[in-house]
Structure 1
């Protein structure tokens, strides 16, 4: 408990520290932007003063070095000079637009929204108005905070997904370890049951009893085999999907309530696929049992096998309460369940068995208040 509290406190501290650092960076960037903009304004005012003095000179007067130096140094800020006679001069504007009056007027409106125009005067007489926009450096700097936030967001997302993936990997190892340990623990009493059943055969009892016990022992051995294979890559062999599906289906039918109406239909006699028999039977068992739970133990379960080119579709239909369309994908996530009891691992295991081990596909084909159709798709053996 103390460990969890410390971990939670550390996470909160890191979150607050990250927020403070980002806020300081943005605040500092904003201040730098304002300062840079003020310096650019000062530069434009100096340029306007030099231009005013230049325009006030007589034709035969000599131009000083200072105005020329000011004019030459300004090569980045776009400017439009509106003289009092209505004539327009441009600086740092593309040559192809320098004579386009409509374009220049639109630029002047844009410049005015970015910076207040500077009135150029000489000895109280208004000579012209200077409209100027942000320099290329200033425009790039304006988007710097957005770029910085995007980088921080992407960096945070990478860290988040790294820890999430790492956590999921640890959980998978834990489940695999628990499953293998369960298989190991079941093995000991299972061996004893085999011995006791052989002893019962020597007694004067109904052979049907020992036969049914053998079936349940075989079932326990199958379950043990399933659990022992979790976490390792299973071996796939060629099987007839029709026969294997019917065997799994019939087993569940014999051991389910008489209130459940079971039907089976195959639209093909044989269809060879690469299967891990034990894990595939587990898949059918999970889907059928989920259907029975959705019907609350009373209704109809139909299983249909439909070939489709190089694929075969196994359709499992129930008459349960249905699944909301928004949950069609999430029901396959670990821990998602509508049952009061259970860990929500059944459909997650189904998805892993079908898609990761058999390169197939499992999905909710359709669902409404009248029932649900689950579909498994497997490729034929080449």
Structure 2
């Protein structure tokens, strides 16, 4: 069932459609009125031609009026034929250059005029079968009026495209501001309990019986500080450092490997052994972590995750391939959209943040290289070589 919502964009589109439809109908109405007026002008002009061919020399006033009417038509193209529909050679407002150079020009115009309008027939005498037929076409004003709705449609269409682009940019900017605000607020909120935890950790160190679990608490605290640091960098220009990305990836693979449950094997291969790139280490680590966690979530406690890095066509390529559930074809184009997720738990921000970090901060690209339901997914990152 059709469900129309009165949003600003929908109202704008509906108003534009109504304007175009009403404009087209009004232009058609004016075109019809102008066509009737032009037909009347041609009839008057044709009768003036008859008068000029039959009038007495003494009727000077009538001749002057007929000449005035005959010469006043400077816009409507006319071709005169005889009763056998053969052109007599008398024309009005045709292209004189083409008339001389193109032998078929007159016949083509005559065929077009026959299709457009019925001829004006003028009997040369009351009882004679002799007659002149005047075929006429559209004036330049009539042609302009016929194409006016199309011109309007093109102009309004371009305006609508610009409006939609501006709206989309505005919406994206608002979303970006919301993301930045959420990220910085999260970092701010984490700051206070982290400072408190650091103080408590120092107190725990004073007692020897706590030595066994202090290292684990310290690692988790450092992890929380890293998360806070990552969120704090969203929205600002991070400092890029020349790093060996293979080393960064290997550290994250080892970190995730220790926390992978079930029978999940994670392999990392690289060629060459050292690949230097300008990256923000905390944010780049976040990207690899998100992709690895996403791969883990796609598998039911068993399978393989293969990570590899290599050089190709003057770019650094990083691929994360899993043997998990795969992505349905209808969802491949949505995986990087904020809020999209097929999981029962999760906000759907991980891959969206990953895309933002790679494209906006590292000037690279990230895509779903391939995915097949039931067989797994491969994500590919492309970074510029430093």
Same topology, TM > 0.5? yes
- Contact conserved, 1:328 with 1:363, CA < 8 A, in 2? no
Write the mapping of 1:255-334 to structure 2, written as runs, cut at 5 A.
255-308=259-312, 310-325=314-329, 327-334=331-338
Q: 2:135, 2:212 → 1: CA distance? A: 102
**Equivalent position of 1:4 in the other structure:** none
**Equivalent position of 2:117 in the other structure:** 115
What secondary structure does 1:143 align onto?
helix
Q: 1:29, 1:253 → 2: CA distance? A: 72
Q: Is 1:377 aligned to residue 382 of structure 2?
A: yes
What secondary structure does 1:366 align onto?
strand
Question: Shift of residue 206 of structure 1?
Answer: 6.9
Q: 1:79, 1:297 → 2: CA distance? A: 86
- Contact conserved, 2:326 with 2:371, CA < 8 A, in 1? yes
**CA distances 1:99-134 after superposition (whole Å, capped 9, x unpaired):** 656443332232222222221223444412111111
**Equivalent position of 2:88 in the other structure:** 88
- Contact conserved, 1:262 with 1:302, CA < 8 A, in 2? yes
What secondary structure does 2:213 align onto?
helix
**Equivalent position of 1:3 in the other structure:** none
Report how many aligned residue pairs link the two structures: 375
**Equivalent position of 2:34 in the other structure:** 36
Root mean square deviation, CA, Å: 2.7
**CA distances 1:251-297 after superposition (whole Å, capped 9, x unpaired):** 11111213221111111111111110111011111111222222244
**CA distances 1:285-318 after superposition (whole Å, capped 9, x unpaired):** 1111222222244321110011225321111001
Q: 1:280, 1:96 → 2: CA distance? A: 72
2:213 is aligned, of 193, 197, 209, to 209
**CA distances 1:49-76 after superposition (whole Å, capped 9, x unpaired):** 1122233357999781122212212122
Shifted more, 26-35 versus 230-239: the winner is: 26-35
Q: Is 1:337 aligned to residue 341 of structure 2?
A: yes
Task: Structure 2: state its 5+ residue gaps.
Answer: none
Write the mapping of 1:1-382 to structure 2, written as runs, cut at 5 A.
8=6, 20-57=18-55, 64-84=63-83, 86-89=86-89, 90-98=91-99, 100=102, 102-124=104-126, 125=128, 126-205=130-209, 207-308=211-312, 310-325=314-329, 327-369=331-373, 370-381=375-386
Task: Structure 1: state its 5+ residue gaps.
Answer: 1-6
- Contact conserved, 2:242 with 2:277, CA < 8 A, in 1? yes
**CA distances 1:201-236 after superposition (whole Å, capped 9, x unpaired):** 343447453222222111111100011111111111
Q: Against the structure 1 CA distance between its residues 9 and 158, is the aligned structure 2 distance closer, same or farther, given a 3 Å change threshold?
A: closer
Shifted more, 171-180 versus 51-60: the winner is: 51-60
Q: 2:110, 2:313 → 1: CA distance? A: 67
